[in-house]
Amino acid sequence: MVIQFIAALRAFYKTKRLARRLSTQTDVVAWQQTQIAKFLRRDIQRVAFYENMLPAHLSDLPVLDKPALMRDFIQFNRPRISAQEVRTALDAGGEQVQGYVVGQSTGTSGNRGLFVISEVERFTWLGVILAKTLPDFPWVRHKVALILPAYGQIFKSAAQIGRLNIRFFDLRDGIDRWVDALINYDPDTIMAPPKILRAVAERTKIKPRNVFSGAEVLDPVDRHVMEASFGTRVREIYMATEGLLGVACPLGVLHLAEDVVIFEFQPVPGSDLVTPIITDFTRTTQIMARYRMNDLLRLSREPCRCGSPLQAVTEIVGRHDDVFRLGPHLTLITPDILRNAILDADRRIDDFRLVQTGQHHIRLHLAANLPTESGIAARDNLATVLRKAGIANVTIELINQIEQPLAQKLRRVRCDWRCDTL
């Protein structure tokens, strides 16, 4: 336990030192090149998939995606733990295999991502997260509320470090089961998916100093409600099965964690969006090299006023799987365009679900208590946006009901239709 605690503190202070040292983009690139050279020379060949490769540059490695990684999972981790071993352990309520920490994603794309990390890596991640979210720790005590469907080993790590009082609330139980306990706890820091933060904001009068949104896309319509209630800025944490990918600065601007991850960006045709390809040079148990994410990002072209040289992100738009492909030519429409078309139609619309169910069919779900004219305005505005994109003859079915269990990940724009030719 002493070794793990030291790993967390070392990562905490290293992250803070790097924040001072990396003052320009040139500094960031130089740091990344030094670290990736070590990674390619020392770590990459320790797993079976890369053992016969001699990469001189990162670009020498193939780009992988989740299906490829899950198909050959045993080939990408040093202890050669299979995907079935991980699933068996998790199904039995365990969180370790061969002394390594294992876990999985929520599986919203229909294919759950798995991970394997060492104890030291677990605490190293924790140190990095603390440095980016609560930099005044350990000089200031914090009462943290984590509202999650289930908390993983990395958050259990935090509970073992002094001067952090952490309480977990299982969102699968429903807000009615724990809202009173949350109010009585009166946390100064709260971390939860945005739909849960919004529910808490609407049901309580708590005033945390720090509010972090993670696990789902943070829509502006939710942000406004939360910030008005909490009286503080809501900051995003961009974290997935693949690791910590970004944290918003005190100004609320999301910055990619380029001090621990190298990002390559694949443009999305017909838009100003990109799909990130990540290489985490701090992970050595399970290699994550040139891994294509399923996310759509809009990168900022301007430096952030906070002074950080780490790449700023204007918006996490959504998932690549939820891009709509409509009409006879399967024209691509990204989630942000669809979202804005609905919200801009009527200010009274503050929640919705938009689902593509066929090549020419969309379902628009709105709250049952909305006036009829709000639904008509949203449907008409959506149709106008589609026509301007050259998409005609699309049926937009209006449904006055929204169902979204709190334990499920919120996806306001969702594509449930798959074309066999894609």
- Torsion angle in degrees (nearest 10) through CA of 68, 70, 74, 75: 20
Select from 201, 192, 309, 195 the least CA-distant residue to 249.
Answer: 309
The C-alpha atoms of residue 258 and residue 66 are separated, in whole angstroms, by 21
Residue 150 carries which side chain, given as an amino acid letter?
A
Q: Are strands 234-240 and 243-248 parallel, antiparallel or unpaired?
A: antiparallel
Residue type, 27: D
* pLDDT beyond 90 at 256: yes
Helix 335-343 and helix 372-388, axial crossing angle in degrees, nearest 10: 140
**Model pTM score:** 0.87
Which DSSP symbol is given to 410? P
Average pLDDT over residues 366-391: 91
| Interval 276-309: pLDDT, tens | 999 999 999 999 999 999 899 999 999 999 999 9
Say if strands 96-97 and 114-117 run parallel, antiparallel, or are unpaired.
unpaired
In tens, the pLDDT along 317-370 reads: 888 888 888 988 888 888 888 988 998 898 889 889 999 999 999 999 998 888
Measured distance CA(200)–CA(2) in Å, rounded: 37
Which of 117, 173, 124, 167 is CA-nearest to residue 142? 167
Structural domains of the chain in order of their starting residue, each with its CATH number: 2-320 (3.40.50.12780), 323-415 (3.30.300)
Q: What is the 3-state secondary structure (H, E, C) of 144-189?
A: EEEEECCCCHHHHHHCCCCCEEEEEEEHHHCHHHHHHHHHHHCCCE
Angstrom CA distances, 412 to 221, 316, 317, 355, 365, stand at: 12, 13, 11, 8, 9
CA distance 154 to 159: 9
pLDDT digits (tens, 9 = 90+) for 130-147: 899 988 877 888 898 988
The amino acid that residue 63 corresponds to is V
